[in-house]
Amino acid sequence: MPHPSRIPSEMKKILLIDDDPELRQLLATYLRRHGFDTLLLPDTRQLDAFLGRYQPRLVVLDLMLPGEDGLTACRRLRARGERRPIIMLTARDEPVDRVIGLETGADDYVGKPFDPRELAARIDAVLRRGMQSAAVPVARGGVFCFGGWEFDRAARRISRAGQAVALTSGEFALLNALIANAGQPMKRERLLELTRGEDSESFDRAIDVRIHRLRRLIEEDPAHPRYLQTVWGVGYVFVPDADDLVSDGGP
């Protein structure tokens, strides 16, 4: 029977969904010792109810689940505007599976079998990234306007005509890094450092996948991008219009 943990409120609340009861309990015990109040579910039937009632800061979601699988659940949450970080778990650890997981909107990906220390480290990294992008300080906030879009660093969102578009923490960090270095071609390796930290596992395709998702969100013609351009042999560059501007958002 799924239930919330009864432990101090200062611990970081997360939701773990996996159909293996032994793994759920093992991870919950380990994560609890490392500062995570871990809610447990065997499938996604109560996912929406738990998100609404307990407000976990992050979801760890197994890919292979009975009923609604993890990819479908992740895609559904992102489609309705859910921006909470999601880490995918799966017994398959092929690059194509990582790409599929990231394309559905997952923030990170851990392949089974894994050391619980790796999962705890990934959770910490994703939560840190969600609180403060490594790409550029946002103490004074700032709104960057381009092509009808408003990218609000302080609010961590992008909107057009007053309609906000949900970004994952990884997508926000990547767009933030590119805008902060507008006009400067950025290597994939450098973008990985800025958006995940230098100690993170390298996975160049993660940058490509997020660029692809961002283009579908903000470009009029994703196949011929105006703002998020490819620099062949290097990486990517954000190309602003001549009249694009930044407002510091403060007095």
Residues 127 and 180 in one domain: no
The CATH number given to whatever domain includes residue 113 is 3.40.50.2300
User: What does the pLDDT look like over 171-213, one tens digit per residue?
Assistant: 888 898 899 888 889 888 888 877 764 334 445 577 888 898 8
Residues 157 and 83 in one domain: no
Residues 30 and 115 in one domain: yes
Q: How many domains does the chain have?
A: 2
What is residue 93's predicted lDDT score, i.e. its pLDDT? 57
Show which of 90, 108, 131 is a domain's final residue.
131
Helix 70-79 vs helix 95-103: crossing angle, to nearest 10? 30
Residues 22 and 120 in one domain: yes
Show which of 131, 164, 195 is a domain's final residue.
131
List CB contacts of 132: < 8 A, sequence separation 6 or more: 138
Q: Which residues of the chain fall below pLDDT 70? A: 1-10, 92-101, 130-141, 196-204, 245-251
Residues 91 and 41 in one domain: yes
CA 34 distance to own-chain centroid = 22
What is residue 24's predicted lDDT score, i.e. its pLDDT? 94
189 sits in the region (left: phi over 0; alpha: psi -120 to 50; else beta) called alpha
Residues 19 and 124 in one domain: yes
User: What is the pTM assigned to this prediction?
Assistant: 0.60
Show which of 131, 154, 176 is a domain's final residue.
131
Domain carrying residue 152: 143-247
Residues 240 and 213 in one domain: yes
CA distance 34 to 118: 12
Residues 33 and 95 in one domain: yes
